[in-house]
A and B are shown apart, each in its own frame.
Chain A
Amino acid sequence: GAGVSQSPSNKVTEKGKDVELRCDPISGHTALYWYRQSLGQGLEFLIYFQGNSAPDKSGLPSDRFSAERTGGSVSTLTIQRTQQEDSAVYLCASTRTSGSYEQYFGPGTRLTVT
């Protein structure tokens, strides 16, 4: 079956512009996570959606970052007024149920802010 997909795969934007990154989780997966990975670093948690519950936004680094998940499926991560330090690979992952821990990752979106 289809895995987690993300678009675009690469995004180059100018400092100060807004960007939207999209994640399509595996069909039927109830939980969705966004992470950020800077070069040579581990994954930094950003936000977690579980079913219809309020998302856990504790990892968002500033109020320029926001995310939504429509219909319990597709999610969009929005970064407003991008800064050069936002340059990173943004990864999305989903899990089957709330009791599952195994995460299925998408290929990521490489964001470059010039």
Chain B
Amino acid sequence: SQQGEEDPQALSIQEGENATMNCSYKTSINNLQWYRQNSGRGLVHLILIRSNEREKHSGRLRVTLDTSKKSSSLLITASRAADTASYFCATVPWGGSYIPTFGRGTSLIVHP
């Protein structure tokens, strides 16, 4: 079963707009990660947020984590056509496991 579920499944925006994707999960986590996948390629790690953190930034990316709601959001500001990709959240549970569980992803299309 999927631990992380992204929402929306698909998002289409114009270049320059912001894109927000959400991830919900069910069980307690050690950390949550966001990955990006360009069509036909492997995944690229974007950012990791630990369960005791509430917000992290990396360039145009902003990730928030609300453990009380078991949810996270990924915000991409001032989007570019090159941001077109699928974005996945992955959760790592408490208890020493190093095996993340991935959601089905959000497909983002940024129109130039």
Chain A residues with CB under 8 Å of chain B are 4, 31, 33, 35, 40-43, 45, 48, 50, 56, 59, 91, 93, 95, 98, 101-108
Of B42, B48, B98, the contact of A48 (CB 8 Å cutoff): B98
Number of interchain pairs (Cβ within 8 Å): 55
Are A31 and B42 in contact, CB atoms less than 8 angstroms apart?
A: no
Main secondary structure of the interface of B (DSSP, over half): strand
CA distance A45 to B33 in the complex (A): 16
Binds A, one of B59-67, B76-84, B99-107: B99-107
Q: Is the CB of A41 within 8 A of B104?
A: yes
Q: Are B103 and A42 within 8 A (Cβ)? A: yes
Contacting pair B99 A101 (CB below 8 A)? no
| Chain A residue nearest to B32 in the complex (CB) | A101
A95 to B90, CA, bound (A): 15
Q: For A106, what are the chain B residues with a Cβ–Cβ distance below 8 Å? A: 42
- The docked-state distance in angstroms from the alpha carbon of A99 to that of B3 is 21
State whether A101 and B88 are in contact (beta carbons under 8 Å apart), knowing that A95-B98, A108-B41 are contacts in the complex: no
B88 to A56, Cβ gap below 8 A? no
- B102 and A91: CB pair below 8 A? no
* A40 and B41 alpha carbons, distance in the complex (Å): 13
Query: From residue A44, how far is it (CB to closest CB) to chain B in Å?
Result: 8
Give 21 pairs: A residue, B residue, CB < 8 Å, sorted on A.
Answer: A4-B42, A33-B99, A35-B102, A40-B104, A42-B103, A42-B105, A43-B90, A45-B99, A45-B101, A56-B99, A91-B42, A93-B43, A101-B30, A101-B98, A102-B33, A103-B35, A103-B43, A103-B45, A103-B100, A105-B43, A107-B41
